[in-house]
A = this chain, B = another copy of it.
Amino acid sequence: MEVKHNIPTGSLELKEVIEKKGTKMTFRPDIKVMDCTLRDGGLINNFRFSDQLVKSLYQACIDSGVDYMELGYKSSKKIFSISDFGSLKFCSEEDISRIIGDNISSNLKLSVMADTGRTDYHEDIPKKSESIIDMIRVAAYAHQIPAAIEIIKDAHDKGYETTINIMAVSNVMESELNEALEILSLTEVNIIYLVDSFGAFYSEEIRDLAYKYLSYARDAGKKIGIHTHNNQQLAYANTLEALILGVSYLDATFSGLGRGAGNCPIELLLGFLKNPKYNLRPVLKFIQEYINPLKEELSWGFDIPYMLTGQLNVHPKSAMCFLDSNDKKNLIKFYDYLTEEG
């Protein structure tokens, strides 16, 4: 492979990038806000959202100027039983159209996620001309990149915008990540996502990674996105950090709804963005009417067990398990369990 990249490491490039950012009185038209409320939130309730909630969220996204709305997954019905999940686990064209109509008259684009190894994309993703979906986002761990590239190619050939979301990069060796980015920059994928699956990154790490991703993207004519988790109360701060450095696709969810500590709250992000097309009021209205009532049955957001898995850069599943147990008030027990030898 002969591709060469200029990965910035010195302060000259830093200066250059920092000077690229907007000011308080301008906005960057390249910014796209991606609502992932149903997709990441579905991970905590098996996608059992009422049609009324989905329909209202769709309208709230349109009214607030959000650019993309992610509805859920394109999951394989051979792997997952439809009786165990709500319809957004599978996102069939029929179900989506039934709930939100044809999406012809809005500027809101729709996306679904295809999880590498758990999607029958050949079978379940029709041609774009037969779908109201605009974008296929492909989620993959680093070792799944070859399989992910096949899904990207298929989706691209069918006419969709595509992203690759490389998960859990805080646990990936730098050389492996470099190779993944190099290979991906040769594909037709439109957007490469920096994903902090474990909520483990500090702003300096986001900065270094954003440089790296942006450098590959610049050379390959792609855009970079960011998806954060709030384990260390840094989901929003790290999204801003990436945004300032030139990352342009920003994932967020209403009230941070999402697995474990949740995601970057969209109400914080829209409060920051200066583009007058964004509007906070419809977001607050949806939170008041639909998200706050959900808090009586679902649990998400910053909590010390999630903080600990983030600080230790491990998957939050042990924290989720702990918070579901009778020991959930015994923080010390969980701390000792996480930090014990061997």
Contacts and interface: CB of A to CB of B under 8 A. Distances in A.
B244 A204 contact: yes
A234 interface: yes
Contacts of A308: 271
A172 interface: no
User: Main secondary structure on chain A at its contact with chain B?
Assistant: helix
A179 interface: no
A18 interface: yes
Contacts of A280: 335
A81 B232 CA distance: 40
Interface in A287-342: 287-288, 292, 304, 307-308, 311, 329-332, 335-336
Contact of A236 (B15, B234, B267, B281): B234
A237 to B, nearest CB: 3
B18 A271 contact: no
A235 B228 CA distance: 17
A244 B206 CA distance: 14
A332 B281 contact: yes
B240 A203 contact: yes
Interface in A259-274: 265, 267-268, 271-272
Interface residues of A, number: 42
A93 interface: no
Given A280-B335, A288-B332, 4 more contacts: A11-B18, A204-B244, A233-B236, A237-B237
8 contacts: A202-B272, A204-B244, A232-B236, A233-B268, A280-B335, A281-B332, A281-B336, A287-B304
Interface of A: 11, 14-15, 18-19, 202-204, 230, 232-238, 240-241, 244, 255, 265, 267-268, 271-272, 280-281, 284-285, 287-288, 292, 304, 307-308, 311, 329-332, 335-336
